[in-house]
Amino acid sequence: MISLSNLVRKNIWNLIPYSSARDEFSGEADVYLDANENPFPNEGLNRYPDPMSRDVKNKLSLLKQVPSDQIFLGNGSDEVVDILIRIFCEPGLDHIITLPPTYGMYQVSADVNNILIKKVLLTDDFQPVVHEIRAATNEHSKILFICTPNNPTGNQINVSIVEELLNTFPGIVVIDEAYSDFSSEPSWSARLDAYPQLVVMQTFSKAWGLAGIRLGMAFAGKEIIDLMNKVKPPYNVNLLTQAAALSALDHPERMESDKAAILKQRVQLESDLKTIPFVLKVYPSDANFLLVKVADADRVYQFLVSRGVVVRNRNTVPRCEGCLRMTVGTPEENERLMTAMYSFFNS
Ligand SMILES: *Cc1c(COP(=O)(O)O)cnc(C)c1O
């Protein structure tokens, strides 16, 4: 059994968190003169937000079937990644392990915090190599990041491999499920009780269509969530964001219908792309994007830009040589993409 106190940095374990006015008094009052707020015009935005985003967590708890005190909310998943690294990794001493090709923020966040990073490449079919991860692991391996469905490859990481890593990795295992709403696999958040070192991340940026509000979620055991709340800036999720999330959560059926439309478009786009001779491969996807291998990716990318269509060029990423990552858009947007692809073929 993993002991959390041995994994957490001493300064964080001993940290006395900032106590805001809204932490020290969270009931209902008639007159609030405790936070040096401006009393005008008193229509809501003059007040600090709930530091713990309780209303949002309560709604999420029902939807996700995770207790409120096992939910953390951050200013995007990016803040969740940063906070986890700062809780568990001692600068210059500890390291994280990532499984590229994968999301770039784990590395950037580690670099910002002067945390070393060990990279263990996925196989050609984008699955982790457990024995190589084990060989890279030592007592300073504090966090393993697993992204599933993975960005930019679009595939699920095999459940049995994730289980093996959860059973053997000596540190925190973070499963980034930014795209899990698009896949049919159940969330790993259903397995939190079995794995006390597990942190599951999700986001409002993709299926919920709210990238602009910056709201990321983490689900974990209460001890880890308490540490995250201790380290976060007091008012990290602002009032407008909490309000937007609450109204979105009142209508999960809207998210479901957007998602269904995107999945339908993904099937269409995949079959359209496969009719193009210079498209060498369209990788199977469990997300809202397709990884597409083409002949001469840089030229295709530049041509698409010249036609006003921007995709993500992943040509220099190991294992993604020759690949472009294409987000599934509206039918009209996908049509624009396909028209440009055909023009490149005929040019
Ligand atoms: C888009 C994405 C996120 C979301 O990040 P936010 O900061 O919540 O917008 C997280 N992880 C991965 C792998 C992503 O692709």
pLDDT of residue 1: 60
Residue 2 clears pLDDT 80, i.e. is over it? no
Strand partners, 267: none
Best of 84, 98, 122, 151 for a ligand 1 pocket test (most atoms within 8 Å of beta carbon): 151
Calpha distance 248→208 (Å, rounded): 8
Q: pLDDT tens for residues 101-117?
A: 999 999 999 999 999 99
Atom 2 (ligand 1) nearest CA:
178
Calpha distance 35→227 (Å, rounded): 24
- For the CA of 147, the closest atom of ligand 1 is 13
pLDDT of residue 303: 98
Confidence grade of residue 256 (pLDDT, cut at 50, 70, 90): very high
Residue 43 clears pLDDT 90, i.e. is over it? no
Calpha distance 140→89 (Å, rounded): 8
pLDDT of residue 158: 98
Pairing of strands 95-98, 141-147: parallel
CA of 269 to the centre of ligand 1 (A): 23
Average pLDDT value for the chain: 96
Q: pLDDT tens for residues 158-188?
A: 999 999 999 999 999 999 999 999 999 999 9
Q: pLDDT tens for residues 180-219?
A: 999 999 999 999 999 999 999 999 999 999 999 999 999 9
Structure tokens at 48: 């600090």
Confidence grade of residue 74 (pLDDT, cut at 50, 70, 90): very high
pLDDT of residue 21: 86
Q: Are 200 and 194 in contact (CB under 8 A)?
A: no
